[in-house]
Structure 1
């Protein structure tokens, strides 16, 4: 069995920066609405600066995630409360944005699916529950597990990461307090220090914002390294509704220089596959050859176009 977190790793919340009193909001109940939002906005401005301090670790994590996903590995987020919901949000947005499958990027939350909409606060107290989640998914060495916990000491997350390490998986931690117990269970630790929250201990605020920013970088950066974009175009977008059909058409237009009607025709010829349509439009090959060439170049559009234009 994996070594599970000790009980003292969950104690002394009062010593954490995210649980301390913010002097800027000490009398926020006396403020007008405009004064409240000014204080909140000023505090939120500190979040991006805190994330900036962690860019080297975030970049390292992106490279490691992409390397494992090239080998068929999965990216799994695990957290409790707001942290878990943010992981699920990021995971759920990857299939329509980058054409991933739901199994490639997964979000897990303490308490299960019901906890995405309803607070299940005691679910985070069990390290065994975190371990069990990953056991059910048969974690392997090529997988990446990202533990998200503002405090850095959530038992559910610590138990999951402790187990993931025994399976050889890459473990990444995201916390908003330095030197947290999460560090002991991770290969890469990302710790944006956002300081005291506007409402003492309400880590859905600045901590949640910081976590969301980091998750945006991890998934987007990894997908870019995996060839899921062409420039800043989302060329693996899956057109599952009218808005996304319009977006895919615009992407084909931009990449090929064709007008909207021609781009729409190409998308139809390519069965809605944006990359295939772009290859057809830029090189005038058939859809079959376009798909074959994309497959030969690991589905990387830029590499495919460069090879066909030689």
Structure 2
């Protein structure tokens, strides 16, 4: 039978966490009108970007480290449990369609697995050995970057994974919602975004989850910018797998080159739908094969290919 009484030392540690704090001003929360609750949550959410801004220096340093690892041929692996893991899985998955990254370049390990029910994932977060084992199964090495997410900064599954990452010399980053956490002490880069007590006490899918999403948006997006996955603010590596995305690729090439629709369409046809090839072809006034060769020599970076 499962005991609902935590060990004394665990209970003390949890009670001291800002993420588990209780705001007595919310004692009448269930008595307030719906509009009052909407206004309250909106006001609390508005504080999150300010908290993220306070950690901007740490975020930038972590991104520079991550980009350097990926430029050396490494991977970016997120590790999280519960809400943190699910946010990480979404960010990792969207890198493929947004930036054309190959499968596995940006990945997420979620306690209990992404196919498990939320309750099973929550249960699995206490298994430090699983975090260590599952990271080892990815054959992580010194060229890789591992980002552990945990609002409390102490989730055993994430701690176990970061311990393994440190053992093999991978870059380690901790995204947490408390200062001086266990994960923060382990990681080379600590990103502490302290958002305080939640409107529903302990529900870290709220402000803490929003903060994690904002930070991961920065990590994945700016890393891809550093890797040359954009031309200006255009997603030149987007994978056009449906009509909406094909139309987007057409707009991207048009915006980048200023060419009329007929020339854009012809360039995309010759480039087999590759926006980068079409852009280089149009701007450098060369054929698609030559543009493709220039891009290969430039590591896929449009600006470098145009400068060659």
Mapped to 2, the partners of 1:147 and 1:161 lie a distance apart of 7
Structure 2 residue aligned with 1:21: 22
Change (3 A) 1:134 1:290: same
* TM-superposed deviation, 1:260: 2.7
Normalised by the length of structure 2, the TM-score is 0.94
Mapped to 2, the partners of 1:174 and 1:264 lie a distance apart of 43
Change (3 A) 1:237 1:42: same
Structure 2 residue aligned with 1:3: none
The answer to whether 1:112 aligns with 2:113 is: yes
* TM-superposed deviation, 1:265: 2.2
Superposed CA offset, 1:222-246 (max 9, x none): 0001101111000111111111100
Most deviating of 113-122 and 54-63: 113-122
Mapped to 1, the partners of 2:265 and 2:89 lie a distance apart of 33
Superposed CA offset, 1:81-114 (max 9, x none): 0000011000000011111012100011000122
Mapped to 1, the partners of 2:109 and 2:224 lie a distance apart of 20
* TM-superposed deviation, 1:116: 6.7
Structure 1 residue aligned with 2:36: 35
Mapped to 2, the partners of 1:116 and 1:236 lie a distance apart of 33
CA contact (8 A) 1:152 1:182 kept: yes
Mapped to 2, the partners of 1:306 and 1:26 lie a distance apart of 63
Mapped to 2, the partners of 1:116 and 1:246 lie a distance apart of 36
Mapped to 2, the partners of 1:96 and 1:62 lie a distance apart of 20
CA contact (8 A) 2:176 2:184 kept: no
The answer to whether 1:55 aligns with 2:56 is: yes
Structure 2 residue aligned with 1:219: 220
Equivalent residue runs for 1:219-298 within 5 Å: 219-298=220-299
Change (3 A) 1:8 1:72: farther
Change (3 A) 1:181 1:260: same
Deviating beyond 6 angstroms after TM superposition, the runs of 4 or more aligned structure 1 residues are none
SS of equivalent residue, structure 2 residue 15: helix
Most deviating of 286-295 and 7-16: 7-16
Equivalent residue runs for 1:177-192 within 5 Å: 177-192=178-193
Mapped to 2, the partners of 1:98 and 1:256 lie a distance apart of 20
Structure 2 residue aligned with 1:147: 148
* TM-superposed deviation, 1:267: 1.2
CA RMSD of the aligned region, Å?
A: 1.5
Change (3 A) 1:304 1:22: same
Change (3 A) 1:217 1:145: same
Change (3 A) 1:305 1:151: same
* TM-superposed deviation, 1:305: 1.3
Superposed CA offset, 1:1-46 (max 9, x none): xxxxxx9578621111011112443321011110001000110011
Mapped to 1, the partners of 2:276 and 2:147 lie a distance apart of 30
CA contact (8 A) 2:70 2:143 kept: yes
Aligned pairs, number: 301
Structure 2 residue aligned with 1:176: 177
SS of equivalent residue, structure 1 residue 115: coil
Superposed CA offset, 1:265-298 (max 9, x none): 2111101111001011111211111111111112
Structure 2, unmatched stretches of 5+, are: 1-7
